[in-house]
């Protein structure tokens, strides 16, 4: 009988840590408990199926089921707008979206960039805010859906295949800030769990979210686990597909800056039991690969190979300064101005909260063409 630590049988009991996550409706909290393998052990007297084996429930590796559930013909992102199910600082959080747009414009200006391309643009919420603030900046959105309406006419749109693959025409970008905001966390990746002898096994999943241990992990995936995880971690998402996706992003830019904004972890604070989870209607839900919910997992930021990784709190304080409440006297002399400054201060405080959005990570790589010196 094969028992893997970190594989739970009860779909409704699986929850994952989401420090810094904004994938909840505004003013709504969600559970952020860690997976508890001791409470939900998975014991099986079945022979683990081979990868790709089909049966009564169709066991598959998590990365395969995840890709189809989000980006397949009936996938979650082909049917639903992200802002309908969760709010991010770019989508569905009002004033914070405008402030994020301002910070991106300041970052582009700092590096002398004239174009901003957003990967995973949703329905164009951030691009709409950017267009209103800077009509002269060239703006391009990339996502799995057709051009959303009503998107400002000056914003270009490219349809992507979905997941890690990017459109072929997105290449050779110059003077470009390429932004991927909460995109890497929905790039599917394999899930692995340790057996009692410490051997890593692939975690297989059925369409209803039930899990089963699969074959031992080998090759580059095993190298990644050994190179990036401490011994006490018993379940993890293998970050190789995200590392490759970041490398592909960087390769698309000839001159400019690549920016990934996401929640995640570094070597010193790896989650012990994995972070894969679902979101449906603004609430954290069990991860079920049937297209009914978003599926997401934290990103191992330090494995990406970025030039710099820093917290969103640090990045926004650098670009926007610190949140300062306006003088109360201003409320009597200029009520409109007072409310505007108060809204800005509150939005900046939200974006930089060390226990909320401020715990997001900004990973950047500066790109310059060798032939341009």
Q: How many domains does the chain have?
A: 1
In this prediction, residue 5 carries a pLDDT of 56
pLDDT per residue as tens digits for the range 218-266: 999 999 999 999 999 999 999 999 999 999 999 999 999 999 999 999 9
Helices marked H in the chain — which ranges? Answer: 62-71, 76-79, 95-110, 125-133, 219-228, 240-251, 312-320, 330-333, 335-352
Q: The domain containing residue 247 runs over which residues? A: 2-29+36-366
Asked if residue 372 belongs to a domain, the reply is no
The more confident residue out of 181 and 17 is: 181
Give the whole-angstrom CA distance, residue 128 versus residue 155.
8
109 preceded by a cis bond (ω within 30 of 0): no
Question: How far, in whole angstroms, is CA 290 from its chain's centroid?
Answer: 20
Cβ atoms within 10 Å of 251's Cβ, excluding its own: 13
- Record the pTM: 0.84
Average pLDDT over residues 8-18: 36
Percent of the chain with pLDDT over 70: 80
SS (H, E, C) 261-284: EECEECHHHCCCECCCEEEECCEE
In this prediction, residue 300 carries a pLDDT of 99
Asked if residue 373 belongs to a domain, the reply is no
Beta carbons within 8 Å of 312's beta carbon, 6+ residues apart: 20, 261, 351, 352, 357, 358, 359, 360, 361, 362
Pairing relation of β-strands 200-205 and 60-61? antiparallel
**pLDDT of 354 over the 50 cut:** yes
For the record, the structure tokens of 330 come out as 């201003």
Give the whole-angstrom CA distance, residue 339 versus residue 347.
12
pLDDT per residue as tens digits for the range 82-98: 555 445 555 555 788 89
Lowest mean pLDDT among 49-53, 140-144, 188-192: 49-53
Asked if residue 371 belongs to a domain, the reply is no
Output helix, strand, coil percentages for the chain, rounded to the nearest 5. 30, 25, 45
Question: Which CATH number belongs to the domain containing residue 197 in this structure?
Answer: 3.40.50.12710
Rg (CA), the chain: 21
Give the whole-angstrom CA distance, residue 307 versus residue 200.
30
pLDDT per residue as tens digits for the range 303-330: 999 999 999 999 999 999 987 887 888 8
In this prediction, residue 6 carries a pLDDT of 55
Cβ contact 182:118 at 8 Å: no
Asked if residue 145 belongs to a domain, the reply is yes
Asked if residue 264 belongs to a domain, the reply is yes
């Amino acid at each position: 009988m094969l028992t893997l630590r970190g594989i739970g049988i009860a779909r409704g009991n699986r929850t994952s840590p989401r420090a810094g996550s904004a994938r909840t409706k505004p003013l709504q909290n969600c559970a952020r408990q860690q997976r508890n393998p001791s409470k939900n052990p998975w014991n099986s007297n079945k022979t683990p199926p081979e990868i790709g084996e089909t049966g009564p429930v169709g066991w598959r590796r998590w990365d395969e089921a995840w890709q189809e559930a989000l980006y397949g013909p009936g996938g979650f992102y082909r049917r639903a707008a992200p802002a309908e199910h969760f709010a991010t600082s770019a989508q569905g959080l009002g004033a914070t979206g405008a402030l994020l747009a301002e910070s991106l414009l300041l970052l582009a200006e700092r590096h002398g960039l004239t174009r901003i391309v957003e990967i995973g643009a949703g329905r164009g919420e951030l691009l709409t805010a950017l267009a209103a603030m800077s009509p002269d900046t060239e703006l391009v959105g990339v996502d799995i859906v057709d051009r959303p309406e009503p998107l400002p006419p000056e914003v270009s749109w490219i349809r992507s295949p979905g997941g890690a693959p990017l459109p072929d025409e997105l290449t050779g970008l110059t003077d470009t800030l390429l932004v991927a905001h909460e995109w890497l966390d929905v790039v599917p990746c394999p899930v692995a769990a340790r057996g009692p002898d410490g051997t890593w096994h692939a975690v297989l999943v059925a369409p209803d979210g039930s899990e089963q241990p699969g074959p031992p992990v080998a090759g580059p995936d095993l190298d990644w686990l050994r190179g990036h995880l401490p011994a006490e971690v018993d379940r993890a998402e293998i970050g190789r597909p995200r590392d490759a996706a970041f490398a592909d992003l960087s390769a698309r830019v000839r001159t400019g800056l690549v920016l990934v904004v996401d929640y995640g972890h570094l070597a010193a604070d790896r989650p012990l039991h994995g972070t894969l989870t679902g979101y449906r209607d603004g609430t954290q839900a069990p991860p079920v690969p049937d297209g009914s919910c978003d599926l997401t997992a934290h990103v191992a930021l330090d494995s990406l190979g970025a030039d710099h990784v820093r917290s969103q709190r640090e990045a926004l304080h650098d670009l926007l300064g610190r949140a300062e409440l306006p003088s109360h006297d201003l409320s009597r002399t200029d009520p409109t101005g007072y409310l505007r400054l108060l809204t800005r201060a509150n939005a900046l405080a939200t974006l930089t909260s060390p226990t909320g959005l401020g715990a997001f990570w900004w990973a950047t790589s500066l790109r310059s063409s060798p032939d341009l010196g």
